[in-house]
Structure 1
Amino acid sequence: MKRTVRTTALTVGALVAALGLPAGAAHAGTATPRIDLRVLVVSDGGPATGAIAAELDAAGTPYTEIDLTRTGRPVIDAGFLADTVDGRPRAKYQAVVLPNDNPFPAGSAEMTALADYERTYSIPQVDAYTYARPEAGLQYPTAGGYSGSVDGVEAQVTAAGKAGPFGYLEGAVPFEDNSPDVGESYAYLSAPAAGADFTPYVEAAVPGQSKKGSLVGEYRHDGRRELVVTFVYNRYQQQFRLLARGIVEWMTDGVHLGASRNYFAVHVDDVFAADDRWNSELNCTPGDVDCTDPDAEPDPIRMTPADVDHAAAWQDEHGFTLDLAYNAAGSVEHREENNGADALADRFVAERNRFRWINHTYTHAFLGCEQDTATVPWKCATNADGSTKWVSRTEIADEIATNRVWGEDAGLPLENDELVTGEHSGLKVLPQQPEDNPHLALALADNDVAWLASDNSRDPVQRQVGPATTVSRYPMNVFYNAGRAAEQVDEYNWIYTGRAQGGSGICEDNPATTTCLDEPLDPATGYAGHIVPLETRIALGHVLANDPKPHFIHQSNLAEDRIAYPVLDGVLDGYDALFTDDTPVVNLRMKDIGTEMRRRAAWAAALDAGQVTAHRVGGTVTVEAPDGTAVTATAPAGTTSGGTAFGEAYAGGRSGWTPADGGSLTLALPSSAALPGTAAEPAGQAPATAPAPDTRVPAGVREQVPPAVRD
């Protein structure tokens, strides 16, 4: 959300909030100043400021970035930071993010301007990654502290951190250690300097000692506040993802545009159908178009009524709802082959209200081009004139409608505007089908489909397909053709090992593949020991990234060995160990995820176009946005609108979207939400003037270490 500050009032939509300024703060002139709700990010091109900027982007919080490495950049002076609007002094930024506590040359006029600005308007400063030193309120690490790797360390939120910006965390902040061969984290652990008004928020034990050193803390001095961070990180690392919310809440005092949640949804495809089993001798799946042995017979995997009971009980235990994408032909065919009996479908229908349901088409047919399977891989069949043969509009529409009617007759609680096509077919599939089936959009319109699932690995950006908006889904690497752990490991070994080891060689052909294996996994231990923790880390990473996109598995993974549950348990149990009860996983159905993604896109477009302004004057915050644009904001707990609580409670605050109807909204914050003041400068301590020493950034921060490296 990097964009230039605009001061012109635009169109409709006022968001007003009572917001007190700190008592005793000094301000230019006599008028109460206006403070714009925008963050200034001063970057040195390093990963720490980049991570904070990415967090602001994801939340929809506007900021302006100044790149210190770019020639011709704006000079940060008093005029850049503040001016006067309609006779009122204006602070253009509500917070400042610096690469460290002082990234400028000694005696810099820019650092002096920033210090004066922060002092005058009570603007907080984040030191994204700085050396522990007295100028940042800390002792040097050589005075009984520590400088070095913190790979695998478990830090802890202090009592002050829990009472302050990190209250949404249970306490533990584990640092990643994905590779024994790559340094991934580096930190300076140190105690507060003598006489410094410094409050540690996150600490870790100093190696070989009984005391702890600060990793994140607040330093108050010279009428200013700094959040001092003494470990380095990138935007993907778990330790940053856990603390990112608190960093933003601290710098904005809990009032800002944008919002953040931790989302997790799981779609289970092919319910009622059967998924063909992996054949470890042929290294393919009989029944699949690319498994061409004429003597190979498909070996179906299908859930049982006991699997339904297990799924329902698992949901109850975790307070979580699965989304079941169903193919009714699977049940119809099963009854035809079993004298009208289908105990699985009967059990699911009896328990139908315990799950969410999505139309997955009647037979799971491929709805793109007509496939020519005479070659491996398949290709699109062509007409005599060389044009592509497409599955017709009628065929697509019938697949959708027939499945919907069956579901309605069975009493499934459907949302008829949601659809998952078989293999996401109908949408483009590279390299064989580089465009959508032109009949797909027409068939979607025939059936009033508004939300269409797509595969995030090949179609990650939300887009329109006729009347439908896509919802990208993350494929979990728990294979559709595996019902048993040994089958999963065998296929995994074949895919991700080299040809010399009997594997597919995909990693030799595409070195960017992150799940490559140096050697095959042990069939007995490889699933629990390698695949489960890996897939858990990947999925949990999505959850912690304010990413609402759903994940998908298949009904086969809930059958036989029920191999999906260890991964799902790992995500949900791991999450519960890290977060407090008021910061739950948000478990939305498909259309609600699509709505969230669409709102975000519209909000981002309005910000990029400079069509949103927000500021506060004394006890009032005003946001102006184009008519028809929903506004997203975060405010403290107790905030009300017209006597009703604003938004939804989450992570100790309130946040949400306003209606996109162009009406005005007044928010009243509780008296406890007044901005904190700053302590006076300790006797004998001058503001920092010397730039911070260079800090170490290990390779695993500059280049993300894939989560697959460690067994």
Structure 2
Amino acid sequence: MGRTTRLVAAWAAAALLAVTLPAAGAAAAEPTARIDLRVLVVDDGGPSVAAIRNELDTAGTPYTRLDLGDTGRARVDAAFLADTVGGGPRAKFQGVVLPNDNPFGAGSAEMAALADYEKRFSIRQVDAYTYARPAVGLNTGYAGSLDGQSAQVTTAGASGPFGYLRKNVPFENNDNGVPESYGYLATPLDKQAEGATYTSYVDAPVPGGSQRGSLVGQYTHDGRSELVITFVYNHYQSQFRLLSRGIVEWLTQGVHLGAARNYFALHVDDVFGSDDRWDSVLNCTPGDIDCPPGSPENDPIRMTAADAQHAKQWEKDHGLTLDLAFNGGGSEAHKEAHAGTDPLAQQLIADQGSFRWVNHTYNHPFMGCIQDTSTVPWKCATDAQGKIRWYSRADITAQINDNRGWAARQGLALDKDELVTGEHSGLRTLPQQPDDNPELAPALTQTQVAWLGSDTSREHEQRQVGPSLTVPRYPMNVFYNAGKAAEQVDEYNWLYTRKADGGSGVCENSSTTTCLREPLSRTTGFADYIVPLESRIAMSHVLANDPRPHFIHQSNLAEERIGYQPVEKLLTDYRTLFADNTPLVNLRMRDIGGELRKRAAWTAAVQSGKVTAFRVGAAIAVSAPAGMEVSATLPSGTVQVRGTGRVAFGTSYAGLRSGWAAPDTGQNTVVLVLPADGPTTSRPLSGKATRVQNPAAALVVPQGVSHRVPYGPGDTVRR
């Protein structure tokens, strides 16, 4: 039994966490260090450090924040950074994030201590935003706006930390009137200091010349490595989101707690039902509650069998499975009006294996308070005592069970754990209904619903409703009452233009959206404006490690099939940005709910200090509350020790392995072993620590970085 195996066995059996091993190639008197899996973030309050913190938070990677603005903060010295455990050295941080290459000032003892620490334990440093200058291995170069610029991953970046990207890294330019990005483009010094090298990972053309200048690169010098980032960003901007994974993987050398993936799922509501149509004269939807009672109704919008066939082929062509939220009562109503036939249902049921199916209740009623629609907007009806009248428990239960029964009679495979109520009703709906229908939770208990769809525009976080956990869904701004592009544009103009331009003017008095500069063209506005806007908004969720699904309606897959267009653009753009080893992850509703549940528990444990983890050589031990699954990202070939055996850890994604690992029964420690060719063991390096220059007094931070620039009127919920 080798020394590493003995160490792991000791951890698994008795949690002898202080055991250490000699490092290959190190002096016998200098044992392999214990490296705690925690990042040190030195924070100046700027947007770039905040962006990296957001990435760590979202992934679930532990870090310690040192606030430079806090006069009572801890001082960085040898004791703050390292100590001794079990007779061997311990590095308290596996990586260091600084706001620039030296935020402590020229000649600072803190920076000298940090440099010594990084050198001793082979700890890497990220300079979140700094100047291009000789102190970081670069010529001075160009400084200015990068709005709309297209950077590229270099050959070294592709074979290194950014191998999950295909090539291009476009910089946002959402508003020509607002400066949104700023950076320094420069080439490496022709003659570096002795032993120093600079390797560019991401570059862009230098304006006015033929050279390309570095935006992200590795500066190795005096036994230390810095990731030098010479452009400023915030965590909303897509250029950061594209690069954030690589920044963290470089910093941690591909070994850290927490994980990130790119998710996209699309729910299609009201399948088998029909949707009311927008009226461009009345500027409302007859048959719905936004129109005065008695308004003449237009022809409803409903998919046909041909639309169903198209949906199946579309999935095959685009590699994305749709989740169909269905109302069986809609099919029965269609049969009553059409001589007992429903070609749409026949087609979809024949092809049912091509889709995933979600219970959307039998008839799609509003299952919150009883709505009083005598006024616009509606209000909750009350009884003689002034108490709110609620949709009953028996009726909620019947709607759930009747739809299940209808599916069973059709032979339709259905996950009974999942439910999306019509309009997410039953859940609180502000401002009219500030509380859940009190009859909802008991009905969910009776029908054993585990996962309940909710609306992110009302409540972004998962929460408990009786026995169920919510699965928040992003509404795409392709309206339920539009089957044609002209209808969509007409309603869009009504909502998002000023009264002077013929709109409702709601946007003029709203803090959550903006007005269009001018009305969109009815013929070109959908393709030229709405499609790219909705695609960008959805992409922002994809890049944010957010598994929450998006939803549209069956009406959007009927007639002109406008719902496909923003999704097609999203998929096309994604495949031009990401390499084949980083596919979109398309989960069904219960799996999304489970991912959100595990993340919430993990995040709470990390933030409350209940998770500890460290690495000694090739072995990693992670301790968490008993029974909790552990989230991590590790090199390919990593295994988990379970009992007397070993199993592969996680699944492959973006060139690494990531996922959840459960401890053995009754244990609270997960033991993992890195592959033999994984990251090199940290060990002391010879030589003298570098002298670090202080950057200039102020770095440029444009308005569009200090305050995010919305994509457009529909961009109301960006996280």
Give me the TM-score of the superposition, normalised by structure 2. 0.93
Q: Structure 1's 54 and 14: CA in aligned 2 closer, same or farther, altered over 3 A?
A: farther
CA contact (8 A) 2:428 2:437 kept: yes
Match of 1:5? Answer: none
CA contact (8 A) 1:126 1:251 kept: yes
- TM-fit CA distance, 1:695: 1.4
Q: Structure 1's 39 and 13: CA in aligned 2 closer, same or farther, altered over 3 A?
A: farther
Q: For 1:591 and 1:198, how far apart are their aligned partners in 2?
A: 47
Match of 1:658? Answer: 661
Q: For 1:619 and 1:499, how far apart are their aligned partners in 2?
A: 66
Which runs of structure 2 are paired with 1:22-41 in the superposition (5 Å)? Answer: 30-41=30-41
Q: Which residue of the other structure, out of 685, 688, 692, is the alignment partner of 1:688? A: 692
- TM-fit CA distance, 1:521: 0.5
- TM-fit CA distance, 1:19: 12
CA contact (8 A) 2:151 2:168 kept: yes
CA contact (8 A) 2:115 2:690 kept: no
Q: For 2:171 and 2:178, how far apart are their aligned partners in 1?
A: 14
Q: Structure 1's 485 and 36: CA in aligned 2 closer, same or farther, altered over 3 A?
A: same
Match of 1:648? Answer: 651
CA contact (8 A) 1:221 1:687 kept: no
Task: Write the deviation string for residues 458-497 of structure 1: whole angstroms up to 9, x where unpaired.
Answer: 0111111000000000000000000000000000000001
SS at match of 1:181: coil
Q: Structure 1's 241 and 15: CA in aligned 2 closer, same or farther, altered over 3 A?
A: farther
- TM-fit CA distance, 1:635: 0.6
Q: Does 1:249 align with 2:249?
A: yes
Which runs of structure 2 are paired with 1:137-156 in the superposition (5 Å)? Answer: 137-141=137-141, 146-156=142-152
Share of identical aligned residues, percent? Answer: 61
SS at match of 2:415: strand
Residue type of the partner of 2:173?
Answer: D
Q: Does 1:458 align with 2:458?
A: yes
Q: Which residue of the other structure, out of 650, 675, 679, is the alignment partner of 1:674? A: 679
- TM-fit CA distance, 1:678: 10
CA contact (8 A) 2:106 2:692 kept: no
CA contact (8 A) 1:59 1:258 kept: yes
Give me the TM-score of the superposition, normalised by structure 1. 0.94
- TM-fit CA distance, 1:158: 0.8
Task: Write the deviation string for residues 362-402 of structure 1: whole angstroms up to 9, x where unpaired.
Answer: 00000001111111111111111111111110000000000
Q: Structure 1's 183 and 169: CA in aligned 2 closer, same or farther, altered over 3 A?
A: same
SS at match of 1:276: coil
CA contact (8 A) 2:42 2:99 kept: yes
Match of 1:500? Answer: 500
Match of 1:620? Answer: 619
- TM-fit CA distance, 1:549: 0.3
Residue type of the partner of 1:152?
Answer: G
SS at match of 2:592: helix
Q: Structure 1's 504 and 19: CA in aligned 2 closer, same or farther, altered over 3 A?
A: farther
CA contact (8 A) 1:13 1:626 kept: no
Q: Structure 1's 156 and 14: CA in aligned 2 closer, same or farther, altered over 3 A?
A: farther
- TM-fit CA distance, 1:408: 1.7
Q: For 1:325 and 1:662, how far apart are their aligned partners in 2?
A: 39
Match of 1:274? Answer: 274
Q: For 1:353 and 1:560, how far apart are their aligned partners in 2?
A: 24
SS at match of 1:687: coil
Q: Does 1:52 align with 2:52?
A: yes
SS at match of 2:89: strand
Task: Write the deviation string for residues 230-278 of structure 1: whole angstroms up to 9, x where unpaired.
Answer: 0111001111000000000001110100000000000000000000000
CA contact (8 A) 2:292 2:375 kept: no
RCO greater where, 1 or 2, for CA within 8 Å and sep 6 or more?
1
Residue type of the partner of 1:659?
Answer: A
Task: Write the deviation string for residues 484-513 of structure 1: whole angstroms up to 9, x where unpaired.
Answer: 000000000000011222211111111431
SS at match of 1:79: helix
Q: For 2:321 and 2:477, how far apart are their aligned partners in 1?
A: 20
Q: Does 1:702 align with 2:706?
A: yes
Residue type of the partner of 2:220?
Answer: R
CA contact (8 A) 2:49 2:97 kept: yes
Q: For 1:672 and 1:606, how far apart are their aligned partners in 2?
A: 31
Match of 1:602? Answer: 601
CA contact (8 A) 2:622 2:670 kept: no
- TM-fit CA distance, 1:668: 3.0
SS at match of 1:591: helix
SS at match of 2:677: helix
Match of 2:525? Answer: 526
CA contact (8 A) 1:262 1:548 kept: yes
Q: Structure 1's 615 and 682: CA in aligned 2 closer, same or farther, altered over 3 A?
A: closer
SS at match of 2:183: strand
- TM-fit CA distance, 1:297: 1.7
Q: Which residue of the other structure, out of 174, 186, 189, is the alignment partner of 1:178? A: 174
Q: For 2:247 and 2:492, how far apart are their aligned partners in 1?
A: 39
SS at match of 1:275: coil
Match of 2:6? Answer: none
Which runs of structure 2 are paired with 1:550-569 in the superposition (5 Å)? Answer: 550-569=549-568
Task: Write the deviation string for residues 407-466 of structure 1: whole angstroms up to 9, x where unpaired.
Answer: 122122211010000000000001111000000001111111000000000011111100
CA contact (8 A) 1:167 1:652 kept: yes
Q: For 1:549 and 1:99, how far apart are their aligned partners in 2?
A: 31
Match of 1:71? Answer: 71
Q: For 2:446 and 2:411, how far apart are their aligned partners in 1?
A: 22
Q: For 1:210 and 1:671, how far apart are their aligned partners in 2?
A: 43
Q: For 1:256 and 1:607, how far apart are their aligned partners in 2?
A: 13
Q: Structure 1's 26 and 509: CA in aligned 2 closer, same or farther, altered over 3 A?
A: farther
Match of 1:169? Answer: 165
CA contact (8 A) 2:131 2:695 kept: no
Q: For 1:504 and 1:12, how far apart are their aligned partners in 2?
A: 68
Q: For 1:659 and 1:79, how far apart are their aligned partners in 2?
A: 34
CA contact (8 A) 2:119 2:685 kept: no
CA contact (8 A) 2:357 2:414 kept: yes
Q: For 2:505 and 2:406, how far apart are their aligned partners in 1?
A: 43
CA contact (8 A) 1:264 1:585 kept: yes
What is the number of residues matched between the two proteins? 695
CA contact (8 A) 1:22 1:674 kept: no
CA contact (8 A) 2:622 2:671 kept: no
Q: Does 1:118 align with 2:118?
A: yes
Q: For 1:410 and 1:356, how far apart are their aligned partners in 2?
A: 15
SS at match of 2:97: strand
Task: Write the deviation string for residues 89-136 of structure 1: whole angstroms up to 9, x where unpaired.
Answer: 211100000000011121111111100110111100000000011111
- TM-fit CA distance, 1:353: 0.8
Match of 2:581? Answer: 582
Q: For 1:492 and 1:636, how far apart are their aligned partners in 2?
A: 47
Q: Structure 1's 14 and 673: CA in aligned 2 closer, same or farther, altered over 3 A?
A: farther
Q: For 2:389 and 2:584, how far apart are their aligned partners in 1?
A: 44
CA contact (8 A) 2:148 2:173 kept: yes
Match of 2:7? Answer: none
